[in-house]
A and B are shown apart, each in its own frame.
Chain A
Amino acid sequence: MGMTMTERILARAAGQSEVRPGEFVQVPVDLVFGQDTTMPLAVIEFKRMGAERVFDPDKVAIVCDHFVPNATVMAADRTKSLREFALQQGLEYYFEAGRGRNFGVEHALLPEEGLIAPGMIVVGADSHTTSYGALGAFASGFGSTDIAAAMALGETWLRVPETMRFVYWGDLGPWVGAKDLILHTIGRIGVAGALYRAMELTGPVIESLTVDERLTMCNMGVEAGAKNTIVPVDEETERYLEVVGVSEAFVCEADPDAEYHSVIEIDVSEVEPQVACPFSPDNVRSLTDVVGTRLDAAFIGSCTNGRIDDLRLAARILEGRRVSGNVRLIVIPATQNIYLQALREGLLEVFAEAGAAVSTPTCGPCFGGHMGLMAAGERVIATTNRNFVGRMGHPESEVFLSSPVVAAASAVMGRIAHPDEVVR
């Protein structure tokens, strides 16, 4: 009996000829990382474990991205302790805003830095670690103590997940992209629709997407409860890997007779631009149902939609236009590389001329940390991944999730708007 892509990767890592869903396996990890809110707890546990050295300083990364540039004195203290830990452990991959050649939001940064390759086992102290399945890796989010154990031992335990296969086909409509596809998928299966399972995203539409777009989709697999999300490796993946300098990879595909929990076919021709309404990522409506909703703010950025493709799309809407007087727009390129690229292409000028506040890379507003929070009663449309109660500020504020084009059009109109209302 054949194996799915996820099963193949886990079997190879575990040194077994095959694995089956439900089986527990012990696997060596190829990359362990955490960020400035989860890693301080991991370092505390690492020390309590009596560990002295990380298992391999070239396979441990720390990305300070949530409260950076340090938003509070306490955040500055946490970042400082991580910087010292990285130095003491000899970690090459330590990233912090304003320091070094590249930095920024972890799930945009690590692939750019060439740290993710197909077939790798990637464990991160951040739920959106599912992103890296876009490059054909097994990648999953963990808590701080699990990450401490992985840093100490160089391995972790996993329960082999059942796989749900999604097949996307048909023609994408105007203004419909990766974000709409994943919101549509989550709306269809629900926030626990893939709980404990792998999501394998396949089909001609997925093949037509760039790696940036696949990262957007895999990023949000966790919003359906998935353990990991994965996309088959193809020429587009190889093109991306060549650009970022990855040469070694374990490339595999699902066997033709692989056994799936379920196969879900999605005809994308019927998908309109999507919006997830408060207070759940599965409360998804077609854009036309919510057009006109009053707004106070818009945010374009995050590990979901802060990449160069996203900024290009947003700039297409905002070029030569002004943000409505009723709303404030914040745009945050996800990494310094993306920031520089957007600068060279004139995108940052487009945003600034439109009246947007453009910031250095940070996760700040997405998780309600800093850099543009919402007051009671305020509404924001955001290209982020979660719209839980209080996610971007006051518990009585509301977050609507959308693609960059819808967020940009809404910023111009001062209410939730269709891009066709702005660009004709």
Chain B
Amino acid sequence: MIVQGRAWKLGDNVDTDQLLPGRYLSLTDPRELASHCLEDTIPRFSELAQPGDIVVAGANFGCGSSREHAPTALKALGISCLVASSYARIFFRNCINLGLPALTSPEAVLGIQDRDRVRLDVATGEIENLTRTFQCSASPLSPFLLRIVEAGGLTDYVRSRLRAERSMDR
């Protein structure tokens, strides 16, 4: 899977309160959540982000609250992939579960500037900056996680497992 888009560059320790402020946690509709994504950090982010865009962040991306509202909002905006030096563990699991690719590369954050055009291969982890000469590769997902991503996320993975168990019962 190849994705290409503009990069939105964020710093280290970007928490899920910034990605989706607490006052909106009663919302469940992905499009409504998307309209408040990063609103206190990057004014008008939800209007400026375009489908295909990529978010590039530093260390410990998505720390803090477990709220799945945060990656749900990013996905609903059409963000095609995340690249970070490292992720907070709950946020990383949530991304995998939602089928939002989350690549890990400490180099990417150094070689990509805000609004650069970036092309990346989610399967191999190859990252290419099309705005300036820069290439790097992200560490591949473990086979265990790839199984969930390939099923289309955890919901689809569980759905097929429950269906298989039911047909065996019959």
Chain B residues 64-82 with CB under 8 Å of chain A are 64-69, 71-72
A21 within 8 A of B: no
Q: When the two chains form the complex, which single residue of B26, B93, B162 contacts A146, counting CB atoms closer than 8 Å?
A: B93
The majority secondary structure among interface residues of chain A is: loop
Instruction: Compute how far the CA of A391 lies from the CA of B16 in the bound complex, rounded to whole angstroms.
Output: 10
Tell me if A98 counts as interface (CB < 8 A to partner B). no
A91 in the interface (beta carbon within 8 A): no
Contact: A391 with B63, CB < 8 Å? no
Is A191 in contact with B60, judged by CB distance below 8 angstroms?
yes
Residues of B within 8 Å of A149, CB to CB, are 97, 154-155, 157-158
In the complex, residue of chain A having the shortest beta-carbon distance to the beta carbon of B166:
A50
Asked whether A388 lies within 8 Å of B64 as measured between CB atoms, the reply is: yes
User: Are B23 and A37 closer than 8 Å at their CB atoms?
Assistant: no
Is B13 engaged at the interface, CB distance under 8 Å to the other chain?
A: yes
Q: Is A368 an interface residue (CB 8 A)?
A: yes
Q: Which residue of B lies closest to A393 (CB)?
A: B23
Question: CB-defined interface of A299-317 with B at 8 Å, one 1/0 digit per residue?
Answer: 0000000000000000000
Query: B158 contacts which of A38, A49, A196, A367 (Cβ < 8 Å)?
Result: A49
Check: B40 CB closer than 8 A to any chain A CB.
yes
Give A339 to B13 CA distance when docked, in angstroms. 36
Q: Is B116's beta carbon under 8 Å from chain A?
A: no
CB-based contact B93/A368 at 8 Å: no
Contacts of A368 in B (CB 8 A): 17, 21-23
Contacts of B89 in A (CB 8 A): 195-196, 225, 227
Among A136-144, A163-171, A324-332, A412-420, the stretch that binds chain B is: A136-144
Contact of B67 among A37, A75, A191 (CB under 8 A): A37
Q: Known contacts A50-B162, A192-B13, A386-B64; decide if A145 and B27 are in contact (CB<8 Å).
A: no
Pair A369/B59 contact, Cβ less than 8 Å = no
A145-B154 contact in complex given A50-B159, A389-B40, C-beta closer than 8 Å: yes
Q: Does B25 touch A at the CB level, under 8 Å?
A: yes
**Out of A67, A127, A129, which one reaches B25, CB within 8 Å?**
A67
Residues of A within 8 A of B23 (CB): 368-369
B20-74 contacts to A, CB under 8 A, are 21-23, 25-28, 40-41, 59-60, 63-69, 71-72
- Please report the C-alpha to C-alpha distance between residue A196 and residue B153 in the assembled complex, in whole angstroms: 21
Is A41 among interface residues, defined by CB-CB distance under 8 A? yes
Distance in angstroms from A291 CB to nearest chain B CB is: 27
Residue ID in chain A nearest B21 by CB atoms: A390
> Closest chain A residue to B70 by CB distance?
A143
Q: Are A51 and B153 interface neighbours, CB within 8 A? A: no
* A75 to B22 Cα, complex, angstroms: 13
Q: Is A96 an interface residue (CB 8 A)?
A: no
**A195–B91 CA distance with the chains assembled, in angstroms:** 12
Chain A residues contacting B153 (CB-CB under 8 Å) are: 145
How many residues of B are in contact with the other chain, CB < 8 A?
44
Q: Chain B nearest CB: distance from A222 CB in Å?
A: 8
Residues of A within 8 A of B157 (CB): 149
Asked whether A127 and B28 contact (CB < 8 A) given A38-B68, A145-B68, A388-B64, the answer is no
Contact A24 B144 (CB under 8 A): yes
Partner of B66, one of A126, A153, A191, A390: A126
Q: Which of A145, A192, A369 contacts B155 (CB 8 A)?
A: A145
> Measured between alpha carbons, how far is A319 from B159 in the docked complex, in Å?
57
Query: Does B4 lie at the interface of the complex (its beta carbon under 8 Å from any beta carbon of A)?
Result: no
Quote the shortest CB–CB distance from A301 to chain B (angstroms).
16
B163 close to chain A: CB less than 8 A = yes
Given the complex, which residues of A lie within 8 Å of B63, measured CB to CB? 191-192, 225
B65:A51 contact, CB within 8 angstroms: no
B140 to chain A, nearest CB (A): 15
Q: What residues of chain A lie closer than 8 Å to B113, measured between beta carbons?
A: none
Chain A residues close to B by CB (< 8 Å): 24, 37-38, 40-41, 44-45, 48-51, 66-67, 72, 74-75, 78, 125-127, 129, 141-146, 148-149, 152-153, 157, 191-192, 195-196, 225, 227, 280, 367-369, 386, 388-391, 395
Interface residues of B, Cβ cutoff 8 Å to A: 13, 15, 17-18, 21-23, 25-28, 40-41, 59-60, 63-69, 71-72, 86, 88-91, 93-94, 97-98, 142, 144, 153-155, 157-159, 161-163
Report, nearest first, the 10 A-B pairs whose CB atoms are least far apart: A143-B94, A37-B25, A395-B40, A143-B68, A368-B22, A192-B60, A367-B22, A145-B97, A144-B68, A127-B66
**Given known contacts A145-B155, A192-B88, A369-B22, what 15 new A-B pairs fall within 8 Å (CB)?**
A40-B28, A41-B69, A44-B28, A141-B90, A142-B66, A143-B93, A144-B68, A145-B98, A148-B154, A152-B158, A191-B60, A192-B60, A195-B88, A386-B17, A390-B18
Q: What are 11 A-B pairs at a CB distance below 8 A? A: A49-B158, A49-B159, A49-B162, A66-B25, A126-B65, A144-B94, A146-B93, A153-B162, A369-B25, A386-B64, A388-B17
